[in-house]
Homo-oligomer: A and B are copies of this chain.
Amino acid sequence: MARSRLTPERETELYAAVLDLLRESGYDALTMDAIAARTHCSKATLYRQWGSKPELVAKAVRHDQPVSLTRVDTGTLRGDLIAGLELSDDCQMERDSALMRSLIHAVHHNPELLQALRHALIEPEITGVDEMLKRAVRRGEVDAGNPALKLVPHMMIGAFISRPLIDEKPVDLEFLRAYVDAVVLPALGA
């Protein structure tokens, strides 16, 4: 790839515009023409700099700074899970949810894009939740052999994605808090 001719600020701005477009139109319908128009960047520059749409989108997704759960440590599992949710406001949740929806079909046909999505949204959550669960097991709150220990990210991502489909409402903090109390903690026997 050619050496970057864009300043870091311009690059950050451009990635943000790509993610906005992605949330609007979905990955499959996103075109390099639309990106060029939105970012006021020529298609020649886009192709020289990133090679192709999958590479540009993967870079933009990876550039999004994930919320880090690792600085949360309240002393109880419930406290940690709720505090972890509260790191995002409702607006950030809706943005993350829209980003995940925009990529969910395409990642099944594009391994590089799946890795970018995992890096930006999924692995930080898995790693952060794993730390919380390890501490809960050490404190004796959860049994080390509980099979739900491996399934907390599934439960949480599930709540996150299915809320609009089932209840026709955006995902928000209030719903996720209730879900932690009704589903996640009882499944863990905590």
Contact = CB atoms under 8 A, between A and B. Distances in A.
A29 B31 CA distance: 10
Contacts of A29: 26, 28-29
Chain A, interface size category, equals 35 or more
A165 B114 CA distance: 8
Given A26-B27, A157-B158, 13 more contacts: A26-B106, A98-B108, A104-B161, A107-B165, A108-B164, A114-B165, A114-B168, A148-B186, A151-B183, A154-B162, A154-B179, A161-B162, A186-B187
A25 B106 CA distance: 8
Interface in A161-181: 161-166, 168, 178-179, 181
Please classify the interface of chain A as helix (H, G, I), strand (E, B), loop, or mixed, using the class held by over half of its residues: helix
B101 A108 contact: yes
A105 B20 CA distance: 14
Interface of A: 25-29, 98, 101-102, 104-108, 114, 117-118, 122, 126, 146-148, 151, 153-155, 157-159, 161-166, 168, 178-179, 181-183, 186-187, 189
